[in-house]
Amino acid sequence: MRWDGSLVDELGRSDETRVAVAGDWHSNIMWIQQALSALHRFAPGVSTILHTGDFSILPEARGKRFLQAVDAACRENGIDRILVTPGNHEDWPRLDTLFAARPGEAIRLSASVWVMPRGYRFSIHGRTVMSFGGAASLDAAYRRTRGTWWASEMPKSEDVAAAVVAGDVDVLITHETIMDGTAQVEARLLANPLHWDETALAYSRQSRALITYLWQGVKPAILAHGHIHVADQRTVQSGQRIYALANDGQRKNIGVVDLASLAWTWID
């Protein structure tokens, strides 16, 4: 299906004062239905979700069925749009093709779902938001054997540099975390419960270093990310806040941001 219209134009007309932010969903329809229902109950009127990735963007046939189910859940719960920052576990060959066909544009995948290229900026209620997708798969070696790993998942230094040059933002949505982020994220990486080898850990450090440079360069008041599957938050000395979102099936998979004050509330 071909969709027309600009995400920038659509959101530029928005009078929304609050948006939701969601962590990894891994194409879990049952969880999405529950999460959107909870969001609708606890934050009625919120109609936009900023998704931190591992949504999942799937191959065409399976992806269409998934998107139809997401659209139905959105209609039932008053959600107009889900704006996806791609994760590492997406169909990157499909994303590469979509982004190459319309460089610099967000791509509408369905009635409610958009996916955004790295460094994409837009405004909601006067706040500048940047989406910067991708992350290192710690299980890349295993995924290579199955043909489900693609180099495009890894952010590129030139994309980071271009995003930094474009200036500061209020809210930064990434999939990958940063170096020295929240305590729970750092503890999980240090504990390495799945015993990733040094090659996998070095690959992760390379990705996190790039996102750390981005975070330092665009100086967001809020950074929200997924990927590590733990929920946590931290306020650093500058006053900037970092929110790590849990994945599907866990508490604190969704938060709500008040765009006037930038206050954060967990939908628990």
- Exposed/middle/buried for residue 165 (C-beta within 10 Å: 0-12, 13-18, 19+): exposed
pLDDT score at 6: 60
pLDDT tens for the chain, residues 1 to 268: 334 446 655 655 457 999 999 999 999 999 999 999 999 999 999 999 999 999 999 887 788 999 999 999 999 999 999 999 999 999 999 999 999 999 999 999 999 999 999 999 999 999 999 999 999 999 999 999 888 899 999 999 999 999 999 999 999 999 999 999 999 999 999 899 889 999 999 999 999 999 999 999 999 999 999 999 999 999 999 999 999 999 999 999 999 999 999 999 999 8
Helix (H, G, I), strand (E, B) or coil at 263: coil
Residue 11 has a pLDDT of: 52
Q: Residue 218's closest CA among 254, 173, 264, 249?
A: 173
Say if residues 230 and 214 touch (Cβ distance below 8 Å): no
Distance CA 119, CA 238 (A): 23
Instruction: Please give the class, per CATH, of domain 17-267.
Output: alpha beta
Residue 250 token pair: 């866990």
Encoded amino acid at 55, one letter: F
pLDDT reported for residue 59: 85
Inter-residue contact 218 to 172 (CB < 8 Å):
yes
Bridge partners (DSSP) of residue 50 are 21, 83
Res 1: pLDDT: 34
For residue 49, give every residue at least 6 positions away whose Cβ sits within 8 Å of its Cβ, in sequence order, or none. Answer: 19, 20, 21, 22, 39, 79, 81, 82, 83, 254
Task: Provide the token pair at 164.
Answer: 């930094």
Q: What is the number of residues in the chain?
A: 268
Q: Which structure tokens are listed for 144?
A: 């290579």
Report the run of H or E that residue 254 belongs to, with start and end.
Answer: strand 254-258
Give me the residue spans of the domains in the chain. Answer: 17-267
DSSP 252: -
Supply the pTM of this predicted model. Answer: 0.95
Residue appearing with tokens 């963007």: 57
